[in-house]
Each structure stands twice: as C-alpha cells, then as structure tokens.
Amino acid sequence: MDTATILAGISDAFTLWNLMFIVLGVTVGQIIGAIPGLNILMALAIAIPLTYSLDTLAAIAFLISVNKGGTVGGAVPAILINTPGTPESAATTFDGYPMAQKGQPMKAMKYSLYYSVFGDTWSDIVLITVSAPLALVALKMGPIEILALMVLAFSVITGLVGESMVKGLIAAALGFLVASVGIDPGQGTPRFTFGYLTLYDGLPLTALAVGMLAVCEIFQRLAQQVRGMPAAAAAPTRSADIADRTVTFKELLANKWVAFRAALIGTLIGAIPGLGSATAGFLSYSITKQSAKDPEAFGTGDPRGIAASEAANSAVVGANLIPMLTLGIPGNIAAALLVSALMIHGVQPGPLLFEQQGQLIYGLFGAMLIANLANLGVGQVGMRFWAFVVSAPNTVIYPAALLLCVTGVYISAGGVMGLVVMVGAAILGYVMRLLGLSIIAFIVAFVLAGQLESALLKTMLITGGDYMQILHHPIAMALLVLSVISIIVLGRRRPTLGRKPGAAAAA
Amino acid sequence: MYVPIKRLALAAALLGTTCAAGTAWGADCPEGFPNKPIDFLVGFGAGGGTDAIARSIAAAIEAQQGWTIVVDNRPGAGGGVMAASLKNADADGYTVGIAGTDTVAIVPYTSPDAQFTWDDFAYLGSGMQINYGLVTRSDSPFSTLEEFIDYAKEKGRATVSVGGTNQEVLVKQLGEHFGVTLVAVPGKGAAAALQEALGGHVDATTQGSQHVQQIQSGDMKQLASLIDKRVDYAPDSKTLAESGLDPSVAMQAFTILMVPKGVDEAIMTCLAGAVDEAVGSDTYGELMRNFDNKAVNLGPDGVTDIVQQSATNYEKVLAAN
Amino acid sequence: MLGRRVVGIGSVGLGVFLLLVGIPMNVTSNGTIIMNPALFPMVAAWLMIGLGAIQIIVGGPELAMPPLSEPVRFAIVAGLTVGAAMLFEPLGYLVVAIGLMVVVIAMIYERRPLWVATTVLAVPVGIWLFFEYLIERPLP
C-alpha cells in the first residue's frame, strides 16, 4: 500500500458531505442505543436502506458511525435507570447506576463516554496499523483454542457471581439449560422447542436480555410504587457540587491501566470472530474486579467498573472489522451487516479488499477516527438531553420505557413470541432476584454456553476423540493453564465459600 | 440530510392516497399495490450471500419501482424459521421470503417440527445459482478430489467444515462413495466454516459464494465443483460426475424468492415482474460480478420445477439414511 | 426455618425433574454424531443437583422477602404486558398501547393531569410515530 493511496483515502473522509453523515450516524446510533429494547443491529438494519443512494464511502462511514454511536448510547440508560440499552452495556450498570444514585449521573455518563471513546479509538488504531498480522493470529484460534478460551472465561467470570459462589453457579447452570433451547449444533435435533419452529434458532438474546435486565427492573419499579408516595424523578438530576458533574483529566488518568487493559481485552475478543461485545464487557469487568486490591469497592459506583466495561465493549467495534476487512469473515452480526452493505455497494470484503479498494478502506479508517470525535461531541450534548429526559417523574419514565421495550422487541425479536420470551425472562429474573441468584451469571452462561457447546463439538469431531492432540495446540494449553491459575487465585480470594456477605454486584 | 428526508417524503407519499407513482415503471401491477412497505424476510443471517442478494434486489426494486422494502433477517434451521413464519403470514403479497432452494427442499425432511413443504409457497423467481465448491487452503498437500480422498485414506479420516444440512448430506455421500471417513463439521453458517478452513483447523470446506475471492487471491484452491458444471474461476477442478459420482449427487441450489400460497394472481405477476427487473439491474449485476457468478432468474415456473425436483430427490436420500 | 436452603431444595428439585422428565421428553438423539444433544442439558441438571445439595448443607440466613403486594403487583404488570402483546395484532398498536398505559398509570397512582396525559397520550403516539414514520417499521 503506497502512501499516496493512504493519504488520498484519508482525505476523502474529510469532505463536508461525509462529515455530515458521520455526525448524523453517530446521533442516530446514540439515540437508538439509548432506547431500551432497540439495539445496534436494529439501528444498522434501519440505516442500511438510507445508504442505497449514497456513494460507497459516505454509506460505510454512516453505518460505522451508527455502530459506534450505538455502543456509547447503550450505556446511558444503564447508568440512569439501571436498564441497559443494549446487552453489551449490561456490565456498565454494576457501577454506573450506583454512581448515578449517589447524585453523580453526569459524572458517570462522562466517565462512560470518555472511556468508551478511548477504547474505540485504541481498537481503531490497532485495526489501522496491525490488522493483517492480527487477523492471522486470530485465525489460529480454532475450535480447540476457543474451547480453552471459554473455559478461561467461565473461570474468570465466576468472580461475578454475587453473594455466594454456590448460588452463582446455580444461576449459571440455569443459563446453560436455557441456552440449550433450539436445535443442537451437532445432530440438528430440536431441544425444548415444544414444536415451535421459531425456537429452533434458540431464544433471542435481545428479548431475553431486555427482559431480564430492563423489563424486570421496570416491572419491579412499577410494582413498588405505593399509593401516596411522591413520584420521584427517575434519577437524581443535578448536584450543586461541580465535582459531581465533571470528570477531570486527572481522574481519567487515575484509571489508565484499567482502561488500557479493557481496551486490550476488547480488541482481542473483537478480533476473534463470533465472541461479541457482551462477552468482552463482562470479561473485562470481572478481570478488573478480581485483580483489584479492593474488589469490594466494585458495585458501589467505582469509576474503574465503568472504565472496564465501556472501554472493552467499545473496543470490540473497531477490532471486529479486522477479520472482516482482511479475511471477509465478519466478527459479529453488526460487522456482518456492514459486509452486506459493502456488497450492495459493489465491494466484496475479503483478502483482495486492500489491494482493490485501498483508497476506500483508508477513507473508512479516516471516517472511523472522525466518528470517534463526533461521538465525543454528540455524547456531550446527548447526555444533557438524557439527563433532562429522566428528570421527568418515575411515573412517566418507567411506563414509557416499558412501552419502548415492548415495541422494540416486537419489531426486532420476532413479534409476539419475542414478547412472551421477554416477559418470561422478566419473571424469571424477578424470582432469581428474590432468591439472591445472580442474573448476570445467568446471562453470561447463556451467552457463552452456545459457543462452548459448539467449540466442544467441533473439537470432538476434529480430534476424533483423541484428547492428546491438545498438546499440539500451545495457545489452548496456555489458556487452560491461565484458567487453572485464576481458579486457584479466586479460591484463595473466597475463603468463605457460600457465606460471603453481599458486597459484590448481586444485580 | 438529503436521504432521510427523501425517505420520509416517500413514506408520506406511500401512505397518502396515491401510490400510482409506484407503478409508473416496468412491473405490471394492480391499482393501489403496494400501499405500504413490503417485508423481505431473509432466511439466513446478515453478511452471507443470500442476505447480500436480498438487500441488493430490495435496493434495485426501491430504485426501479419506487416501493419501500424492509429487509429483515430470520436466520435459523437453514431458512426454516423464516419459511415457517412466511407460511403463516398473510397471503397479500406484502411478505416475501428469500432463501435457498434447500430451505424448502431439505428442511421439511430433516426438521420434525417444520410444518411446511415446498408446496405451501408460490415462487416469484430466482437470483442466482449457488456455485458450491469443495475448497481448501492453497498450502494443503492435495489439489484434486482424488488426492484429497487419498490423503483421507492415508490419515484414516479427514474433516470438512460445512455451512448447512445440504452440504452435510453431500459430504456423507462423498465419504460413502469413496469408502473413507469424511467428518462433516457443522457450525454457524458459511463464514464460520470458511474461517476454520482458512485457519487450517479442518482439512477442507464446502462454500457457496465466499470462496471465490479466496481462490482469486491465491489463499485457497478448489478441489471439486459440487454443482453440475465446472466454474470459470476454477476451470481445472472437475465436477463430481467427472470424478465418477452419480450426477444426481451434484447440488443444484438457487437463491429464490417466494410468497405464501394464495396471493392474488395479479399481485403475483406484479411481484414477479419487479423481481425480474431487479435481477436484470446493473447494481445486481455488479454484485454477481463480485461473486464471479451470473444473475439467473428461472421465473416462477422454473423455480417451482427445480424445487419440486430437488425436494423429491432429498426426500428419498434422507429417508434412506 | 428453611432459610436459604429453599434455593437448594428448588435447585435439586428442578435438576431431578429435568433428568427424569424434562430432558427425555424434549430432547431426542438420532445417534448420528459423536456428541449427544442431551449432554449440555444433563450437565446443567447435574450441576443443579450437586450445587443444590451443597446449598442445602451450607444453608444461610433467611432471604429478605419484600411485602407480598410486590410480587402480586409484579405479576399483574407482567400479565398486562403479555395481554397487550396478544392484542396488538387483532386490535392495532395504538389502541392497545394507550390502553396499557392507562392501566399502568392507574396502578402507580399518578394523578397529576399533565403527567397522566404525557404517559397515556404523548408516549404511545410518540413511539408509534417514531417507528411508523421515522424508521419505517410498520406496527400493527
């Protein structure tokens, strides 16, 4: 790739026309991301037809901006009303919401915005500079390595299980069970589908996550409303103290290692196709919590928690394009929609992309960096707007949020069936809350179980049951050793198995 | 903000009383159709060949007819999830399904809960023939199907990642024919299968569209063409029939558009006309060039014949298993 | 009192039910591939039994339960939502959404006219307009 092409490409991004679409895209993404029940996929699906008549660069810049805006927007309701706008920002509720409840909603949103943009920018730079070699490394992650990675993820994430390890694991077992709904990955026979073909693809994650995390919270709020109680604002609005509303550069720098590690985790998870940003957020949060000297501070409004979650889930966005642009393999469904959009515009992502469309790709890179800045700017305005919205009384916010969830899930997750799943998940979530079973352990197990099962199956098929073959897979062995270490460290951290008082994020 | 405003104006126009504007071009449509957005249900996830075809046809129809088309992915069970909801949709022409012929030719015989057969749908036309190929990394020690079989015999077994049931069936048939263990490794679609083959985790993979660029870039080579003829991008790789297999084993799959049975005759003509025009468009042609494939519209009758034929064939093969 | 053993008992019960009834009834294997489709559900069931047993032994302090009115009201709101979901297609979105908001707002004792109007009218109409026109996803 010669420098002239790179420069020509990047300068292509700087037309007024493109800048306009980047800002528009970021705005659309932030709004849709912030609405519970609507997710980034929905935002992209809506945005794609808008790009039919645009030139290719403006179209792709617009779509990637929507994607980037969505990850920022998702954190807003997570912080303000404890209902994550998108599944990937679920880990942001752990510390974002408590911080907002302490009277610092603006501060929490600013932390979230800044770390999100940091993670995003970092992974964009990785994408721009070392995507080709990184993609080759990611290719080395075959089923056996993914299996080992899943084992590691489970061993680390057990740190999120809440007040008691045993109950956390019970919740995880439930997640396993629910994840097995749908056709089994090997034989293709139906499991727990009760004759409904719509369940063959498994329970829709959107409906399940929105139900358990957002609708459950909304139902509970509505149920707790008592006659005669003054209807409070959904979140404390403005604190008089300026320190509660702003984040200084020093405060941001205090968590630089946390944010850096989170960005690194997000980039790696993003570069491996199929793992997803929800995994990155949870994994980063739990690693951060467990490696902290004071893990009990997490869940009480600790900025490190916000940094760990947001920098990681945003870093997935740029990194997801690594396998897509270099190999033609989309990293997740959002990237897959981008592949489709590119193909509609006559561009085929894959190994020849850089050669054939170098200028376009560098234009896209330029647009991504601009989009990060736009995210920062639009986010600044947006958070004031959202803070204003939630200053309306509870009696407006929660019913409105309910109707949005219902409508969004109806549209994006398979109609009435999606809504039934959503309400069912909300009820299950409530029962689990009452019993002190961690909802997060459930969701994480649900998200990872499918990947674990598929990786296990493929490993069995590929090795033909010869488990000694793992000796030929150094990456897998290293990951397994890491899991053993983390279990030992965790075990030492939790001497009071089963009775530890609930300092952790029970959620 | 030119585009969204245009879209809004368009939506407003569509919801207004006159939508005759939509019928000004090409397709021969009854008065007042369509008076709301048309839903395209894609039987597979985003990012794959079927999805790209659906979106490209949708874009072409929007441009040519001035209609609004909403593209929705309903992946699962090889397009079966989409087919099931399409069957239950109103037969008013506002819901169109896009899938492969295999969705209606195989899924009813592999999924006990599939409450549909190919006969529950009426077909509008096709977008292209899917050029399935058996491909492997270019540094693999074998370059033809025969060498691959020898390699598998020597090793005792070989693995092939597949993107769907139709390919799983084929891999099994290949193994039986040559008397060797070929293990089909199923996964979540063609992209995952490609990834495993590129990473060297499996010996080969079956692909429908994404392998073309990999072959052109020199990262992969084709061992055999799995359809009834050789393909331009790998002219030296033989068809299965040339390697001595029964010609009926060859895959004959098209990307097809369908509606629930019972749609009004005039609306069928209108939709089929719109599809035909879109398949002939430049934008769609460009997509086909990227796949190194050709736009092929068999028309309503042609698709119905193919679907019926391959459904009969698969019903027999799968019952024998 | 049973204390947290309730959770353990429930967990063991669910696990046993799955092993004896749930899995055999809803999961079938055709034996064509190396891994049994019932493997993961069985692992989940055994985990529930094992962990539940530990929980029964370990026990723990009483669970803090909310007043009975809360789960009852929760169930009512959940039921209303499912009811609304069922009615969307026959009755149309706007009618059902406004109806749902009326019942919900009555349940949460909001009486100030302005806020009632916002929730009952502005919110459903706004959401409907948003979906129907701005993003062109037609609602029933």
Residues in A closer than 8 angstroms to C101, CB to CB, are 399, 403
Count of residues making up chain B: 321
Average pLDDT value for residue range A446-450? 83
* B143 and B103 housed in the same domain: no
What is the CB neighbour count within 10 angstroms for residue A135?
Answer: 21
- pLDDT value for B58: 92
- pLDDT value for B9: 41
C-alpha distance from residue A128 to each of A1, A321, A391, B121 (Å): 12, 10, 41, 47
A228 pLDDT above the threshold of 70: no
Average pLDDT value for residue range A200-213? 81
- pLDDT value for A131: 80
Q: Are A354 and A325 in contact (CB under 8 A)?
A: yes
Q: Do B290 and A414 touch (CB under 8 A)?
A: no
Of the pLDDT bands very low, low, confident and very high (cuts 50, 70, 90), residue A243 is: low
A502 pLDDT above the threshold of 70: no
Q: Which residue of B has its CA nearest to A344?
A: B56
Average pLDDT value for residue range A88-115? 88
Q: Which helix (H) or strand (E) holds A350?
A: none
Which residues, other chains included, contact B192 with Cβ-Cβ below 8 Å and sequence gap of 6+? A273, A274, A329, B161, B163
Which residues, other chains included, contact A252 with Cβ-Cβ below 8 Å and sequence gap of 6+? A111, A114, A115
Q: Which residues of C make CB contacts under 8 Å with B?
A: 133-134, 136-138
C131 closest CB neighbour out of A174, A219, A407: A407
A499 pLDDT above the threshold of 70: no
Q: Could you list the residue range(s) of the whole structural domain that residue B47 is in?
A: 32-130+253-320
User: In angstroms, what separates the C-alpha of C132 from chain A's closest C-alpha?
Assistant: 11
Four-CA torsion A262, B45, C135, B7, nearest 10 degrees: 120
Q: Where are the alpha helices (DSSP H) in chain B?
A: 2-15, 49-65, 80-88, 101-105, 107-110, 145-155, 165-178, 189-198, 211-216, 265-279, 282-291, 299-320
Q: Do C127 and A229 touch (CB under 8 A)?
A: no
- pLDDT value for C104: 85
Which residues, other chains included, contact A452 with Cβ-Cβ below 8 Å and sequence gap of 6+? A147, A150, A151, A154
Residue of C39, C82, C108 best to disrupt the A interface, most CBs of A under 10 A: C108
Q: Do C85 and A180 touch (CB under 8 A)?
A: no
Residues in B closer than 8 angstroms to C134, CB to CB, are 8
A150 pLDDT above the threshold of 60: yes
- Residues paired with B97 in a beta bridge: B41, B258
Of the pLDDT bands very low, low, confident and very high (cuts 50, 70, 90), residue A497 is: very low
Q: Which two tokens stand for residue B22?
A: 């939509």
User: In angstroms, what separates the C-alpha of B286 from chain A's closest C-alpha?
Assistant: 6
Residue of B70, B171, B176 best to disrupt the C interface, most CBs of C under 10 A: B70
- pLDDT value for A125: 92
C138 closest CB neighbour out of B7, B12, B36: B36
Q: Do C74 and A220 touch (CB under 8 A)?
A: yes
Residue, of B267 and A156, whose pLDDT is higher: B267
Average pLDDT value for residue range C101-111? 81
Residues in C closer than 8 angstroms to B37, CB to CB, are 136, 138
Residues in B closer than 8 angstroms to C137, CB to CB, are 70
C-alpha distance from residue A504 to each of A92, A161, A164, C5 (Å): 14, 8, 9, 21
Average pLDDT value for residue range A70-79? 88
- pLDDT value for B98: 94
Average pLDDT value for residue range A267-292? 82
Residue of A40, A227, A407, A446 best to disrupt the C interface, most CBs of C under 10 A: A407
* B87 and B149 housed in the same domain: no
B6 pLDDT above the threshold of 60: no
Q: Do B7 and C133 touch (CB under 8 A)?
A: no
Q: Which two tokens stand for residue B147?
A: 């060498």
Q: Which residue of B has its CA nearest to C31?
A: B321
Q: Do A197 and B1 touch (CB under 8 A)?
A: no
Domain ranges within chain C, ordered by starting residue: 5-58, 69-134
Q: Do A191 and C37 touch (CB under 8 A)?
A: yes
Q: Do A46 and C78 touch (CB under 8 A)?
A: no
Domain ranges within chain A, ordered by starting residue: 3-493
Average pLDDT value for residue range A417-437? 89
Residue, of A289 and A234, whose pLDDT is higher: A289
Q: Are B48 and B75 in contact (CB under 8 A)?
A: no
Q: Is B222 within a domain? A: yes
B70 closest CB neighbour out of C133, C134, C137: C137
Share of chain A above pLDDT 70, in %: 90
A200 closest CB neighbour out of B55, B81, B192: B81
What is the CB neighbour count within 10 angstroms for residue B20?
Answer: 10
A206 pLDDT above the threshold of 60: yes
Residues in A closer than 8 angstroms to C103, CB to CB, are none
Of the pLDDT bands very low, low, confident and very high (cuts 50, 70, 90), residue A227 is: low
Q: Which residue of B has its CA nearest to A352?
A: B217
Residue, of A277 and B14, whose pLDDT is higher: A277
Residue of A24, A165, A189 best to disrupt the C interface, most CBs of C under 10 A: A189
User: In angstroms, what separates the C-alpha of C62 from chain A's closest C-alpha?
Assistant: 10
Convert the pLDDT of each residue in A347-396 to its tens digit.
Answer: 878 777 887 788 888 999 999 999 999 999 999 999 888 888 888 887 88
The answer to which of A25-39, A107-121, A243-257 has the lowest mean pLDDT is: A243-257
Of the pLDDT bands very low, low, confident and very high (cuts 50, 70, 90), residue A62 is: very high
User: In angstroms, what separates the C-alpha of A490 from chain B's closest C-alpha?
Assistant: 33
Average pLDDT value for residue range A227-255? 65
Size of interface B-C (CB pairs under 8 A): 13
Residue, of A407 and B9, whose pLDDT is higher: A407
Residue, of C105 and B3, whose pLDDT is higher: C105
Q: In what order do the strands lie in the sheet with B38-42?
A: B69-73, B38-42, B95-100, B254-260, B121-129
Q: Do A456 and C35 touch (CB under 8 A)?
A: yes
- B249, B278, B309 - which closes a domain: B249
A506 pLDDT above the threshold of 80: no
* B40 and B123 housed in the same domain: yes
Residue, of A122 and A198, whose pLDDT is higher: A122
A400 closest CB neighbour out of C48, C71, C123: C123
Q: Is B277 within a domain? A: yes
A127 pLDDT above the threshold of 60: yes
CA atoms within 13 A on the CB side of B232: 7
Mean pLDDT of chain B: 84
Q: Do C47 and A176 touch (CB under 8 A)?
A: yes
Residue, of A238 and A450, whose pLDDT is higher: A450
CA atoms within 13 A on the CB side of C108: 31
User: In angstroms, what separates the C-alpha of A95 from chain C's closest C-alpha?
Assistant: 23
In the chain, the amino acid numbered B240 is L
State how far the Cα of B134 lies from the Cα of C40, in Å rounded to an integer. Answer: 32
SS (H, E, C) A131-153: HHHHHHHHHCCCHHHHHHHHHHH
Of the pLDDT bands very low, low, confident and very high (cuts 50, 70, 90), residue C140 is: confident
| Total number of domains in chain B | 2
- pLDDT value for B188: 75
Neighbouring subunits of A (3+ Cβ pairs under 8 A): B, C
- pLDDT value for A226: 66
- pLDDT value for A233: 54
Residue of B1, B3, B5, B7 best to disrupt the C interface, most CBs of C under 10 A: B7
Q: Do C37 and A186 touch (CB under 8 A)?
A: yes
Q: For residue B133, give the nearest of B209, B45, B218, B242 by alpha carbon.
A: B209
Q: Is B2 within a domain? A: no
B201 closest CB neighbour out of A49, A143, A200: A143
- Residues paired with B42 in a beta bridge: B73, B98
C58 pLDDT above the threshold of 60: yes
B18 pLDDT above the threshold of 50: no
* B59 and B159 housed in the same domain: no
A406 pLDDT above the threshold of 60: yes
Share of chain A above pLDDT 90, in %: 17
Residue of A31, A180, A499 best to disrupt the C interface, most CBs of C under 10 A: A180
Convert the pLDDT of each residue in B19-34 to its tens digit.
Answer: 333 334 457 888 888 8
State how far the Cα of A148 lies from the Cα of A350, in Å rounded to an integer. Answer: 28
Q: Do B113 and A193 touch (CB under 8 A)?
A: yes
User: In angstroms, what separates the C-alpha of A171 from chain C's closest C-alpha?
Assistant: 9
For chain A, the maximum distance between any two Cα atoms, rounded to a whole number of angstroms, is 71
Residues in B closer than 8 angstroms to A455, CB to CB, are none
Convert the pLDDT of each residue in B54-79 to its tens digit.
Answer: 999 999 998 888 888 988 888 777 78
* B310 and B206 housed in the same domain: no
* B109 and B170 housed in the same domain: no
- B230, B249, B268 - which closes a domain: B249
Q: Is B17 within a domain? A: no
Look up the CATH number of the domain holding residue B262: 3.40.190.150
Q: Do B8 and C137 touch (CB under 8 A)?
A: no
Mean pLDDT of chain C: 82
Q: Which two tokens stand for residue B8?
A: 């809004």
Q: Which residue of A has its CA nearest to B282?
A: A346
C51 closest CB neighbour out of A169, A177, A179: A169
B16 pLDDT above the threshold of 60: no
Convert the pLDDT of each residue in C125-138 to its tens digit.
Answer: 888 888 877 766 77
Average pLDDT value for residue range A313-336? 83
Look up the CATH number of the domain holding residue B178: 3.40.190.10
Q: Do B8 and C134 touch (CB under 8 A)?
A: yes
Of the pLDDT bands very low, low, confident and very high (cuts 50, 70, 90), residue A428 is: very high
Helices A415-435/A165-179 angle, 10° precision: 160
Q: Which residue of B has its CA nearest to C132?
A: B11
Residues in A closer than 8 angstroms to B216, CB to CB, are 352
Under DSSP, the state recorded for A494 is -
